[in-house]
Structure 1
C-alpha cells in the first residue's frame, strides 16, 4: 500500500515541469511544507528545470545549490563524484556533467499534457548531449551504428508516429513492398534513413530530428488527453496515441543513454514518475505478448506494484521481482534475460518465458 509520502514523491517530477493535474496542485505544496526530504528533492528538480528553461540563469543569491542528480542505478557513481568506471571498463563522467551540458545548450521544455512530458524531457536530454558529439560523430554506439546513425535512427523511429499525427516526413520515402511485416518495414526504413543521413552533415540530421520532435510536441495530441486517447496502430500494436508518446520517450531515453556510454558520460535515468509510466506501458505490452495461455507469473517491480501475467483464473506458478530501472533496460534490449538482476521463485521455465519475452520486445 502506498502512503501519501510515496504518492507525492511520484508527483514531484510533474510538479517541477508544471504538469500536475488540477486535482494534484494543492496536494504537493502542502506536503512539501511538512516533509523535508520531499522538499529537498522538489528543490533539486525545480532547479534543474529552471536551468533547462533558461541556461543563462545562475542560482539565486543566498540560495543553496541543489544536490547533484542521482546517478543511474548500477553506475557506481556517488553524487558529485568524479569520472565513473563502468562495469565494462569504460570511464564515464558523472551525471552532473549532463546538467552542465544542458545549461549550455538545452532549450525550454515545452508545456505539454502529462502523457507527453516524458517524451519532452527525453528530447531535452538528448539535446543536452549535442555539444558533446562535435568531432565524434563516427564513434561506435550500439548495434553497428555510430553517433550520427543513432540520431538518424531516432529520426526514422519518431517518423512513424509523426506521420500518423499529420506531420510530413523529413526524409524521402522508401520503396517498401506492401506485404512487409511491421518489423521488416521498421528495419528497412531505418536502414534507408541512416543511409540517406550519412550522405548529409550530422548537424543537418540533428536539425531534422529536432524539428520533427518539436512537431510531435506541438500537435494537438501532445496537449489534449482526449485526442491522445484515440487508438492507432504502430509497431504492430493498436494503442492510444498517449501510449505511443511513452514509447517514443522510452526509445529516446534509451538511445541517449547509449550515446552517453559511448562518449563516457553518465546519463541520469528518467525522473521516477516518468520511469513508472514507462514500466506500466512495458507491462501492458508484455502481457499482450505473453498472451492468455502462458503460465501465470506474478511480476513485481520495486516500488510496490505487481501484476499477474499469463493465463487468467489459474494458480500462479512463479513469482518474479525486478527493479524498475533494470526492467526497463531488459525491455529495451540492454539487459540479457539470463543475467538481469532479479529475484524469482517457483517454476523456472515460467520465469524464463517472461524474461525472454520481455527482452524480445526490444525494437530499439
Structure 2
C-alpha cells in the first residue's frame, strides 16, 4: 500500500508544473507544510521547471536596475508562493519574498546588522517566529495545538472589527505587554541557535499556516476571533501576518542596502483595505469626519472616517505604500507624503491615530 508520503512524492512533479488536480493540490500543500524533505524537493523541482522555461523576456538583466544589488534576481528566481485562497495570498507572497532575501545571507553573512528597535537581522526573524505564534496556535499549526477552535469563533459582523480598548494602569494594552514579552523570550532563545535554525523555524511555522484549512477555506476564514487586541475575521489575521512580514522584509532590506519591492498591486490593496478597517473603529464614530483617498497603481478608493452625521472637515490623499508604512509605524505622521485640504487638525488626528496602530 502506498504511504501518504510516497503518494505526495509522486505528485511533486505535477505540482512543479502547476498541473495538479484541485483535490491533489490540497493534499500536497498540507504535506509540504509538515515535511521538510518534500518541501526541499518541491522547491528544487519548481526551480528546475523555471530553468527549463528560460528567463522572462520582460524582466531586466540582474544588474540592469540600479540599486537592486542582486535582490531582484533572488525575487525572480524564488520558489512561487504556495497557492491559497485570496485572503492568505498576500501572506504567502510576503513569506516567499522574505525567504528570497534571507537566502542571500549565508551562515557567516551580516546577520548581526542592526535592523529596527534593538534587533539585528537574526533577531528580526526570531520576532516573526513570535509574531506568527498566536495565529499558528489558533489553527493548531505550531506543534502546541490550538488555543481556540476557529469553528466555534463568531462570524464577523458588518462593522468588520472591534479593537480591544482595555489597558493597564500605565495605558498600555495587556496584549501589547504579552506581545513584547513573548518577543523577548523568543529572541533570547533563538540567539542560542544559528540563524539557519531560526529561519527554518520561521519558515516551517509559516508553511504550516499556509497549509491550514483556514488558508484555503474562505467560509472558515470569515469567522472572527480575538487575537492581539482586536477581533477580526481569521482572513484579516492572515492579512496582518502579511503586513508584518512585508514591513520587516523592508526593514531588513533597508539595513542591508537592498531594495525590497512592494507587494503586487492586488495584494497591496488588500493590505490598504485591511488597514482602513482597523483605522475606522480606532478613530471612533464621534471623530471629525475626514475623507481619506488612497490612489496609486491598481486604482483609487475613498473612505470617510469618523462621524457619519457631520460634514467632511478635511481631505487626505495618500499613495498605498505610504499609507501602509504610516500604519506600520515606518512613516512619521508629520513626514509621510500626502495631500491635505480643509481642517488640518482633523487630518492630523487621522494621521496620528493611524501611526499609533503599529505594533510591528
TM-score for the superposition, normalised by structure 2: 0.75
**Correspondence list, 1:169-208, <5 A:** 181-208=174-201
The question of 1:239 aligning with 2:252 is answered: no
Tell me the equivalent position of 2:286: 293
Cα 1:60–1:193 change in 2 (3 A) is closer
Q: Distance in 2 between matches of 1:319 and 1:52?
A: 50
Q: Distance in 2 between matches of 1:250 and 1:181?
A: 22
| Worse-superposed segment, 106-115 or 194-203 | 106-115
Cα 1:359–1:110 change in 2 (3 A) is same
The question of 1:227 aligning with 2:220 is answered: yes
Tell me the equivalent position of 2:165: none
Q: 1:280 aligns with which of 243, 266, 273?
A: 273
Which consecutive segments of 4 or more residues in structure 1 shift more than 6 A? none
- Alpha-carbon shift at residue 132 of structure 1 (Å): 2.2
SS at match of 1:337: coil
Query: Contact 1:52–1:109 (CA<8 Å) still a contact in 2?
Result: no
SS at match of 2:51: coil
The question of 1:80 aligning with 2:64 is answered: yes
Q: Distance in 2 between matches of 1:361 and 1:194?
A: 23
- Alpha-carbon shift at residue 168 of structure 1 (Å): 3.2
- Alpha-carbon shift at residue 136 of structure 1 (Å): 1.0
Cα 1:52–1:101 change in 2 (3 A) is farther
- Alpha-carbon shift at residue 82 of structure 1 (Å): 2.3
Structure 1 unaligned blocks of 5 or more: 1-17, 19-50, 70-78, 84-92, 171-178
Tell me the equivalent position of 2:110: 136
RMSD (Å) for aligned C-alpha atoms: 2.3
Query: Contact 1:319–1:351 (CA<8 Å) still a contact in 2?
Result: yes
Q: Distance in 1 between matches of 2:99 and 2:353?
A: 32
- Alpha-carbon shift at residue 267 of structure 1 (Å): 0.6
Q: Distance in 2 between matches of 1:168 and 1:221?
A: 14
**Correspondence list, 1:103-122, <5 A:** 106-122=78-94
Structure 2 unaligned blocks of 5 or more: 1-17, 19-42, 145-167
- Alpha-carbon shift at residue 103 of structure 1 (Å): 5.5
TM-score for the superposition, normalised by structure 1: 0.74
- Alpha-carbon shift at residue 282 of structure 1 (Å): 0.2
Q: Distance in 1 between matches of 2:312 and 2:334?
A: 21
The question of 1:55 aligning with 2:27 is answered: no
- Alpha-carbon shift at residue 311 of structure 1 (Å): 1.0
SS at match of 2:310: coil
Tell me the equivalent position of 1:310: 306
Q: 2:347 aligns with which of 342, 351, 363?
A: 351
Cα 1:169–1:139 change in 2 (3 A) is farther
Tell me the equivalent position of 2:3: none
